[in-house]
Amino acid sequence: MAEALREVPPYFKTKLRTWVRWQQAFGAVNASLGGTSVVCSVLIGANTAKPFMDAPWAMTLSAAAALATFLVSILNAKQYNIAFEQAARELEAAIAIYRVDDSVALRTLADAEVRGLALLNRTRPDKS
């Protein structure tokens, strides 16, 4: 007969879900802005070979490509995506051990949270 798994405190479950959601959000932002930049750039390039857009549309697409590229670089969405994924995995690994091993202290989950926060703090731009 299989032993029951130990219950994880709701705080840590919520923290894990939050970090996973932020990871997904930053991934979506990075992909959508990058995709927008690529599509606009391709259309602008195709329009120079054989014009099929009016000048205002071409200028608007050019500005959209530049803005999307700027936002990809300034928001650091990819770095935040990676940091939130690593932080979530750190906590998820500790939760997995905590649930099956009764000798593992609750402190293990807190330590994993601290390591996750350290990963996230490394992603922040230097304020100096």
Q: What is the pLDDT of residue 127?
A: 53
Q: What domain range is 57 assigned to?
A: 10-123
Burial string for 6-19 (b: 16+ CB within 10 Å, else e) reads eebeeebeebbeeb
**Domain annotation covers residue 29:** yes
Provide the sign of the torsion angle of the four alpha carbons 47, 49, 54, 59, taken in this order: positive
**Domain annotation covers residue 15:** yes
Model confidence pLDDT, tens digit, residues 91-127: 999 999 999 999 999 999 999 999 999 999 988 766 5
**Domain annotation covers residue 62:** yes
Model confidence pLDDT, tens digit, residues 11-56: 999 999 999 999 999 999 999 999 999 999 999 999 888 899 998 9
Q: Give dist(CA 70, CA 73) in Å, integer.
A: 5
**Domain annotation covers residue 69:** yes
Name which of 92, 85, 69, 72 is nearest 120 in CA terms.
Answer: 85
**Domain annotation covers residue 3:** no
Number of structural domains found in the chain: 1
Query: CA angle 25-110-112, nearest 5°?
Result: 55
pTM over 0.95: no
CA dihedral angle for residue 110, residue 106, residue 8, residue 122, rounded to 10 degrees: 10
Retrieve residue 95's tokens. 């939760």
**Domain annotation covers residue 5:** no
Q: What is the pLDDT of residue 75?
A: 87
Alpha helices in 9-106 (DSSP H): 10-49, 55-75, 77-100
